[in-house]
Chain A
Amino acid sequence: MRNRIAQHVQKLQPSGIRRFFDLAANMEGVISLGVGEPDFVTSWGVREACIASLHNGHTSYTANAGLLELRKEISRYLVEQFEVEYRPETDVIVTVGASQALDLSIRAIVDPGDEVIVIEPCFVSYAPLIELVGGTAVKVGANEEKGFSLDFDVLESSITERTKAILLCFPNNPTGTMLSKDELIQVSRLVEKHDLLVLSDEIYAELSFDEKFTSFATLPGMKERTILISGFSKGFAMTGWRLGFVAGPTDIIEAMLKIHQYAMMCASTMAQYGAIEALKNGRQDIEVMKKSYRRRRNYFVASLNEIGLHCHNPGGAFYAFPSVKETGLSSQEFAERLLLEEKVAVVPGNVFGESGEGYVRCSYASSLEQLQEAIKRMERFVKQFR
């Protein structure tokens, strides 16, 4: 049979991270700063609650939107932590990671031909998910000069008749950049003026180090226009549990639930029981982890600058995004040679979008000993280009 693979899938580019993974996975003695997840294992209390749920035989499906008890806890958490209120019965869906929440949101609002603005560099899934539903991802480069925050003139000039939504993710993967409340308010004015929706990927919200995180939905008039996407992976160190959630205006959540019930049915039941415990009793663990990330950020970013890899101070997440331009190498060349010559794995910035060219992403969610060794190796590597 010819054309076994659908054309729109054929057109989809494989993630640039994949090639790098293959290269690094087969080497011995690699220090990996390429990992996009916490180095903490999920808190024991959460793991224990999940085990207990299995002991108690909680192995059947849950409601499509997830256990009501969990949705209530999510709702309480959003009020207490981010000061935004959603009704657990109608405005919240428990999803398979924030990734599925993102996919559902896009599928629910994007018609073929619609445009969604994504701010690059950004998480690798955004544009492909938009393209999979026939939408156009309009890529707007973040402002390199200002630590990868937003350039509002460029942002506004990229809005057209077909623009349906803006996808925001701050603290950002890969830059670690956070937007101030003032900057978010400026975005909200554009959203209002051009009658847009906002997909707010707030997965790194808990890991905001210097400023209090502002959830986009808390801005005046924005709750009706915001789809809040988050999950347990980063803040609660629960990546492998694949559990996230989405909260938003009732009509959009209802539309998303239609897709979710046919495509997914519900998120994993045992993971949902773990998440209830995480929200009830695991929030002080986040503080401990956050402190630890913050200290490592301080050490790592100061050290990068010291060895001549200029790096802005990232306000959140666990990524540093230093410039490698002074070496004269491209992102790919830098990452590949650093891996082969010094066995340190970082991710080339261009896999997160064109505007990431000239940078590499280093995750500092590794032990301090590993970070120190990585800095030593990177310093040796960088010296040859002086």
Chain B
Amino acid sequence: MQLTEKELDLLQIIEENGRMKIDVLSKMVELTEAETENMLQNLEEQRIIVEYGAVIDWRKVDNFEGVTAMIDVKVTPKREVGFDEIAKNIYRFPEVKSVYLMSGAYDLSVVIEGKSLSQVANFVSEKLSTLDSVISTTTHFILKKYKHDGTIFDQGEDDRRIVVSP
């Protein structure tokens, strides 16, 4: 689907900041507020805008328990449905945060979030590995997130510019 210049602009802006107020947003793309609302609604209806979310640094929350693992999964694709069916069987588990079909040494990249190491381990050994088409799994636990979806978790650098310059 071909989008207009303004629609692309709008998408790029809210991808960076989904909470941008409509009066600011409409000025940035040089439309009225009503036009902007309409455009957003359209994009939502077409599921081009799928969801609005937040990027959270859970490491700062002491009473949050959770681990994330990336799992390389090798599978046997099935006649006619290829990888799609096995992918569906995997992404339906609520523990699974994302699933990508990959080129290279393995087929599916699966991101799992669990409360603890053992919970993720259980999921892999009991649910994932036992699926029919799965040949093998390699699990990598994430130790620290530095940057996620374009956002750097550390505080940005201070503005070092002098206050008034020609």
A interface residues, Cβ below 8 angstroms from B:
15, 17, 20-21, 24-25, 30, 32, 34-37, 39, 41, 123-125, 173, 291, 295-296, 298-299, 302-303, 345, 347, 368, 372
Contacts and interface: CB of A to CB of B under 8 A. Distances in A.
Interface of B: 9, 12-13, 17, 24, 27-30, 157, 159, 161-166
A353 B12 CA distance: 39
Contacts of A35: 161-165
A298 B163 contact: no
Contacts of A368: 17, 24
19 contacts: A15-B166, A17-B165, A21-B163, A25-B162, A25-B163, A35-B163, A36-B166, A37-B161, A39-B159, A124-B166, A173-B166, A291-B9, A295-B9, A296-B28, A298-B27, A302-B27, A302-B30, A345-B164, A347-B164
A345 B163 CA distance: 8
A21 B24 contact: no
Main DSSP-derived SS at the B contact region: loop
B163 A24 contact: yes
Nearest to B165: A36
A296 B166 CA distance: 20
Contact of A37 (B24, B28, B165): B165
Contacts of B30: 298, 302
Contact of A299 (B9, B24, B162): B24
Contacts of A37: 161, 165
A32 B162 CA distance: 9
Contacts of B24: 299, 368, 372
B161 A39 contact: yes
A62 B55 CA distance: 47
Contacts of A123: 166
Contacts of B13: 295
B27 A34 contact: no
A24 B9 contact: no
From B157, B163, B166, name the one whose CB has the most chain A CB atoms within 10 angstroms: B166
Contacts of A34: 163-165
A89 B32 CA distance: 52
A19 B61 CA distance: 46
Nearest to A15: B166
A41 B152 CA distance: 15
From B12, B30, B161, B164, name the one whose CB has the most chain A CB atoms within 10 angstroms: B164
A15 B163 CA distance: 15
Considering the complex of A and B, which 4 residue pairs feature the smallest CB-CB distances, nearest first?
A34-B164, A21-B164, A302-B27, A295-B28
Contacts of B17: 368
B5 to A, nearest CB: 11
Given A39-B159, A291-B9, 12 more contacts: A17-B166, A24-B164, A25-B163, A36-B165, A39-B161, A123-B166, A124-B166, A299-B24, A299-B28, A303-B27, A347-B164, A368-B17
Contact of B157 (A21, A41, A295, A296): A41
B80 to A, nearest CB: 42
Contacts of A41: 157
A331 to B, nearest CB: 14
Nearest to A23: B164
B27 A21 contact: no
Contacts of B165: 17, 21, 34-37
Nearest to B157: A41
Contacts of A296: 28
Contacts of A295: 9, 13, 28-29
Contacts of A302: 27, 30
